[in-house]
């Protein structure tokens, strides 16, 4: 097993989903389980990286094949822990992808040391396993497989969670509840994989949590980011699509408020939110020192929001932006990925929150359209782009208010603080992943502290 851990330790830092960029992992094997396959060994490892504080638990599916039979795909080869044996990153091998989907659509159980894994179909017997699988490119924290449609069926997207946490993943929880309630703004669900594994922090006890989630895939559609970016670059009016997106957001919020408990904001909510804002701000200042000069002004915006009257708290999307929405010509706007912000602890992502957080996230996303055009098309008139963004933001809020019955503009102090907190989050993300983009959130921070913004 030492050779397996050494092989994984050399490979993991090169993966987009690995959280410990810039350092070598310190790995410990927690458990594993096998899935049936005809021509290979399909084993999923649970590996704790104890070099992180707190330790991070990773799910690493591996297909083991005879080296002589493996074609050269260096990007997907993990390594050779034993002479004559090659490890392949599971999602890129059909032995794993087909075994995983069978587990989801047909149900079943797999076991390993202290571990039980269960496939949970959303609609048992409703469909067959899908066709050939391909890996969706560009993801950061998970790995998604797209299964081609078989005759009479629709394609499937299956998300494999790379970092594991105790509890039901909110993407599964919220998406499944909305789909069962008949919402047209989420894809129909196919099923999930849940597991029980040893507690990584103690010698006793177990955790339960989510391992994978499958839903119907909408082929040939674009996400709202691409739709909006193309419209802004061409100078096309986007107010009608933005208003429809606002209405879809509100419709999902109304549905979630009816499906899950809500509660009036109380002192603990104010204190928890303040701690989150301050923790994030401290991280941002440490990683992006330019923010420090605005510390007092940022604190003033936060204090004004904490003194304002708050609406009831409920379950929300939690990481809402244009990239989390698809435009289907038949269904309209469809929301995806209800996991919440990857940088927030799972305990925060699964509790009731402010619906305005999602509104603020989408407003920031429209601002990102302007920032992207400024970087990629410096010849474009900044005034023209700003006018496009103002129109989209205003239309989005108007569409939201028409369905929700609550005007976000009337809660300007809180909305501005949430938008500012999102910009602080973006500064951290960009400094770690796309340093040339950090100017986008820095400009937003400057604007939001100098004149807590009207929406338009």
Please, how many CA atoms are within 13 Å of residue 49, restricted to the half-sphere of its CB? 24
Is the Cβ–Cβ distance between 414 and 258 less than 8 Å? no
What DSSP string runs through 120-163? EESSTTS----S-EEEPTT-SSEEEEEEPPPTT---EEEEEESE
Q: Is 374 a residue whose pLDDT tops 90?
A: no
Of 277, 282, 306, the residue nearest 292 (C-alpha) = 282
What is the average pLDDT across 344-360? 90
The alpha carbons of the chain give a radius of gyration, in whole angstroms, of: 23
In angstroms, the CA 403 to CA 390 distance is 21
Mean pLDDT of the chain: 92
Confidence check: pLDDT of 452 > 70: no
Q: Using CA atoms, how far apart are residues 24 and 49, in angstroms rounded to an integer?
A: 10
pLDDT of residue 419: 96
Residue 135 contacts residue 155 (beta carbons within 8 Å): no
What residues contact residue 136 under an 8 Å CB cut-off, 6+ apart?
Answer: 143, 144, 145, 146, 157
The predicted model gives 368-374 an average pLDDT of 91
The answer on pLDDT for 300 being more than 60 is: yes
Question: 176 pLDDT band (50/70/90 cuts)?
Answer: very high
Judged by average pLDDT, the poorest of 70-79, 105-114, 411-420 is 70-79
The Cα–Cα gap between 288 and 431 comes to 7
Residue 453: is its pLDDT beyond 70? no
Q: What is the DSSP letter of 100?
A: H
Q: Is the pLDDT of residue 345 over 60?
A: yes
**What's the whole-model pTM score?**
0.90
- Report pLDDT for 378: 81
pLDDT at 52 over 90: no
Q: For residue 304, is pLDDT > 60? A: yes
What domains does the chain contain, in order, with CATH numbers?
2-216 (no CATH), 222-450 (3.90.1200.10)
What pLDDT does residue 390 have? Answer: 95
Percent of the chain with pLDDT over 70: 96
Q: What is the rounded distance in angstroms from the CA atom of residue 192 to the CA atom of residue 198? A: 20
* Tens-digit pLDDT profile for residues 139-165: 678 999 999 987 778 899 999 999 999
Please report the pLDDT score of residue 137 as a whole number. 85
| Percentage of residues in the chain having pLDDT higher than 90 | 76
- Whether pLDDT at 127 is above 80: no
Helix (H, G, I), strand (E, B) or coil at 202: coil
The model's pLDDT over 64-82, given as tens digits with 9 standing for 90+, comes to: 999 888 876 667 899 999 8
Specify the pLDDT at position 71.
77
Using the predicted structure, report yes or no on whether residue 344 has a pLDDT greater than 80.
no
Question: Dmax over Cα atoms in the chain, in whole Å?
Answer: 68
Per-residue model confidence (pLDDT) at position 347: 81
Structure tokens of 99? 């075994």
What residues contact residue 268 under an 8 Å CB cut-off, 6+ apart? Answer: none
pLDDT digits (tens, 9 = 90+) for 189-209: 999 999 999 987 766 789 999
Across 87-102, average pLDDT: 95
| For residue 399, pLDDT beyond 80 | yes
């Amino acid at each position: 097993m030492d050779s397996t851990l050494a092989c994984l330790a050399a490979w993991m830092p090169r993966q987009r989903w690995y959280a410990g960029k810039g350092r070598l992992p310190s790995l410990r094997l927690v458990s594993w389980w096998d899935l049936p396959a005809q021509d290979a060994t399909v084993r999923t490892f649970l590996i704790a990286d104890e070099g992180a504080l707190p330790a991070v638990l990773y799910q690493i599916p591996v297909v083991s094949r005879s080296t002589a039979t493996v074609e050269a795909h260096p990007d997907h080869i993990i390594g050779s822990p034993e002479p004559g044996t090659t490890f392949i990153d599971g999602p890129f091998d059909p032995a794993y992808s087909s075994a995983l989907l069978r587990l989801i659509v047909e149900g079943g159980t797999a076991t390993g040391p202290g571990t039980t894994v269960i496939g949970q179909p959303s609609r048992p017997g409703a469909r067959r396993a899908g066709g050939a699988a391909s890996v969706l490119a560009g993801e950061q924290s998970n790995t998604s497989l797209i299964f081609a449609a078989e005759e009479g069926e629709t394609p499937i997207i299956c998300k494999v969670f790379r970092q594991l946490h105790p509890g039901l993943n909110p993407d599964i929880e919220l998406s499944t509840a909305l789909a069962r309630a008949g919402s047209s703004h989420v894809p129909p669900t196919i099923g999930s994989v849940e597991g029980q594994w040893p507690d990584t922090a103690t010698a006793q006890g177990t955790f339960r949590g989510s391992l994978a989630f499958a839903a119907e895939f909408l082929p040939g559609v674009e996400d709202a980011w691409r739709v909006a970016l193309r419209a802004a670059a061409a100078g096309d009016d986007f107010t009608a699509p933005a208003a429809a997106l606002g209405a879809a957001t509100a419709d999902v919020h109304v549905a979630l408020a009816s499906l899950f408990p809500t509660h009036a904001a109380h002192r603990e909510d104010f204190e928890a939110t303040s701690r989150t804002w301050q923790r994030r701000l401290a991280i941002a200042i440490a990683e992006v020192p330019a923010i420090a000069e605005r510390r007092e002004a940022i604190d003033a915006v936060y204090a004004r929001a904490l003194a304002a009257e708050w609406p009831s708290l409920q379950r929300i999307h939690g990481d809402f932006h244009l990239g989390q929405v698809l435009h289907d010509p038949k269904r309209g706007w469809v929301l995806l990925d209800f996991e919440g912000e990857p940088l927030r602890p799972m305990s925060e992502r699964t509790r009731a929150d402010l619906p305005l957080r999602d509104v603020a996230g989408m407003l920031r996303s429209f601002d990102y359209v302007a920032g992207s055009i400024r970087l990629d098309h410096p010849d474009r008139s900044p005034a023209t782009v700003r006018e496009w963004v103002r129109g989209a933001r205003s239309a989005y809020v108007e569409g939201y208010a028409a369905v929700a019955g609550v005007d976000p503009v009337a809660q300007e102090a809180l909305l501005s603080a949430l938008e500012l907190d999102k910009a602080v989050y973006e500064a951290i993300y960009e400094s770690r992943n796309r340093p040339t983009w950090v100017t986008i959130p820095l400009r937003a921070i400057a604007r939001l502290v100098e004149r807590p913004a009207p929406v338009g």
